[in-house]
């Protein structure tokens, strides 16, 4: 199999809203097969933003990049999205659902190594809340990957979403666009000391919350779709994954 192979499945979950959720598993070449195989690098669970589903362009590109870097990556809907609900619940109310999906995906992959959890926007925020206060019997965790973390609502920079940050002890990577209306960079920089775990922050010049870059905002005058923007973070992501793998190996 190649790193471009994607297995689309529905896995059962213990949730009152739905009996199963849709997932897409991106498979590193030669390392894993849907019906069994080896998982040697930390797999990654990615959940989309509040208004998107698992086929979000940027999320799909991120999962493909992770697989190309040797890490099985799973895109998954949370139960509220699978049930067709238009609005997302408060992030705090989705933590148990994220844990349920993680347990189901972990059982499917039968991975012997710790997980990296995260997602885009709302998905990354929910994952961070999970890391801060992990439920009992959660699979082992190795890292937190947040793309376009919604530091505050648009136009409401005083409403910071960081109360749980002092409990984030895992290795964390934050990927933020410099034109993200939900993440004022000066406020982000001010909050970074609250994060106790190993942290990398990567700023994407000119990118908005969706990781789109217009030609006018781009440093080189070239517009960039979310998938193209994600491709550009490959060196940063690879270096961070190497650090996570090294910490897990110790």
Task: Please list, in sequence order, all residues whose beta carbon lies within 8 angstroms of the beta carbon of residue 88, skipping any fewer than 6 positions away.
Answer: 50, 51, 80, 81, 94, 122
Contact 57, 111 (CB under 8 A): no
pLDDT, the chain, mean: 92
Q: Architecture of domain 6-249 in CATH?
A: 3-Layer(aba) Sandwich (3.40)
Contact 116, 145 (CB under 8 A): yes
Per-domain residue ranges of the chain = 6-249
Three-state secondary-structure class, residue 128: helix
Query: Any idea what DSSP says for residue 114?
Result: P
pTM above 0.85, yes or no: yes
- pLDDT class for 109, splitting at 50, 70, 90? confident
- pLDDT class for 29, splitting at 50, 70, 90? confident
Give the whole-angstrom CA distance, residue 129 versus residue 124.
Answer: 9
Three-state secondary-structure class, residue 26: strand
Q: Choose among 44, 233, 214: nearest CA to 139.
A: 44
How confident is the model over 40-64, as pLDDT tens digits? 789 999 999 999 999 999 999 999 9
Q: What is the pLDDT of residue 197?
A: 94
Contact 179, 150 (CB under 8 A): no
Q: Choose among 85, 163, 161, 83: nearest CA to 124.
A: 161
Task: Please list, in sequence order, all residues whose beta carbon lies within 8 angstroms of the beta carbon of residue 168, skipping any fewer than 6 positions away.
Answer: 128, 131, 132, 144, 195, 196, 197
User: Of the given ranges (33-42, 151-160, 161-170, 235-244), which has the lowest mean pLDDT?
Assistant: 33-42
Mean pLDDT along residues 53-80: 96
Q: Is the pLDDT of residue 3 over 50?
A: no
How confident is the model over 167-209, as pLDDT tens digits? 999 999 999 999 999 999 999 999 999 999 999 999 999 999 9
- Calculate the alpha carbon distances from 218 to 129, 148, 178, 212, 221 in Å: 33, 17, 10, 10, 5
Residue 106: count other Cβ atoms within 10 Å of its Cβ.
18
Please return the burial class of 36, using the count of CB atoms within 10 Å of its CB with bins 0-12, 13-18 and 19+.
Answer: exposed
Q: What is the pLDDT of residue 30?
A: 61
Q: Which residue has the tokens 């982000």?
A: 188
């Amino acid at each position: 199999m190649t790193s471009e192979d994607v297995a689309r499945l529905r896995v059962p979950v213990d949730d009152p809203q739905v009996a199963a959720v849709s997932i897409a598993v991106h498979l590193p070449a030669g390392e894993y097969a849907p019906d069994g195989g080896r998982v040697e690098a930390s797999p990654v669970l990615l959940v989309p933003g509040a208004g998107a589903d698992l086929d979000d362009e940027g999320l799909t590109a991120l999962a493909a990049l992770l697989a190309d870097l040797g890490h099985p990556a799973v895109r998954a809907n949370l139960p509220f999205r699978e049930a067709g609900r238009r609005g997302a619940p408060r992030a705090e109310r989705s933590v148990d659902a994220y844990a349920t999906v993680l347990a189901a995906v972990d059982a499917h992959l039968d991975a012997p190594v710790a997980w990296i959890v995260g997602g885009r926007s709302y998905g990354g925020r929910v994952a961070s809340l999970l890391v801060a206060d992990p439920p009992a019997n959660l699979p082992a965790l190795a890292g937190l990957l947040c793309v376009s973390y919604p530091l505050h609502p648009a136009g409401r920079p005083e409403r910071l979403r960081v109360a749980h940050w002092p409990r984030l002890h895992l290795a964390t990577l934050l990927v933020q666009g410099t034109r993200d209306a939900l993440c004022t960079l000066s406020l982000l920089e001010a909050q970074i000391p609250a994060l106790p775990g190993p942290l990398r922050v990567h700023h994407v010049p000119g990118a908005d919350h969706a990781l789109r870059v217009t030609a006018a905002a781009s440093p080189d005058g070239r517009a960039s779709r979310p998938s193209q923007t994600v491709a550009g973070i490959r060196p940063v992501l690879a270096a961070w994954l190497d650090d996570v793998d090294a910490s897990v190996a110790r």
